[in-house]
C-alpha cells in the first residue's frame, strides 16, 4: 500500500509540474516573441506614416504605394493581434485541462482510498 501512495504522490507532482511548465514556459515564450514582432511592426508602421507625411502629395503612384504599404502593415498588425487572442484562448484551454486533470486525479485517489 505504501508503494501505491508513493506512486500516486509522484504522479500528482509530475502532473502539477508538467502543467506549470506548459502554462508558464510556452505561453510566456510565445508572448515574448509576439511582443517583439509587434514592437518591430509598430516601429515600421510609424516610419511609414512619417514617410507619408513627408512625401509630396502630387504623385498618384506615390500615394498608391504609400496606401499599399500602410494596408499591408495594417493586415500584419491585425494578424499579430489575432495571434495574441489565439494565445489567450489556448492558455485558457490549457488551464481548464489542468484543472480537469487535477479533479480526475483527486477522484481517482478517493476511489482507491474508498475501495
Chunked into runs of 10 residues, the chain (115 residues) has average pLDDT values of 78 79 70 82 80 71 80 83 82 84 84 75
Q: Is 0.85 topped by the overall pTM?
A: no
Quick check: helix, strand or coil at residue 115? coil
Query: How far, CA to CA in Å, does 42 sit from each of 15, 24, 39, 78, 88?
Result: 39, 26, 5, 11, 21
Distance separating alpha carbons of residues 66 and 55, to the nearest angstrom: 9
Q: What is the pLDDT of residue 22?
A: 67
Q: What is the pLDDT of residue 1?
A: 55
Amino acid at each position: 500500500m505504501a508503494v501505491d501512495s508513493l506512486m500516486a504522490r509522484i504522479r500528482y507532482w509530475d502532473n502539477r509540474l508538467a502543467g506549470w511548465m506548459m502554462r508558464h514556459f510556452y505561453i510566456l515564450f510565445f508572448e515574448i516573441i509576439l511582443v517583439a514582432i509587434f514592437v518591430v511592426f509598430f516601429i515600421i508602421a510609424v516610419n511609414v506614416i512619417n514617410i507619408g507625411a513627408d512625401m509630396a502629395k502630387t504623385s498618384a503612384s506615390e500615394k498608391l504605394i504609400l496606401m499599399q504599404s500602410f494596408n499591408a502593415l495594417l493586415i500584419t498588425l491585425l494578424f499579430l493581434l489575432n495571434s495574441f487572442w489565439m494565445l489567450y484562448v489556448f492558455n485558457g484551454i490549457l488551464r481548464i485541462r489542468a484543472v480537469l486533470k487535477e479533479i480526475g486525479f483527486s477522484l481517482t485517489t478517493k476511489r482507491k482510498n474508498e475501495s
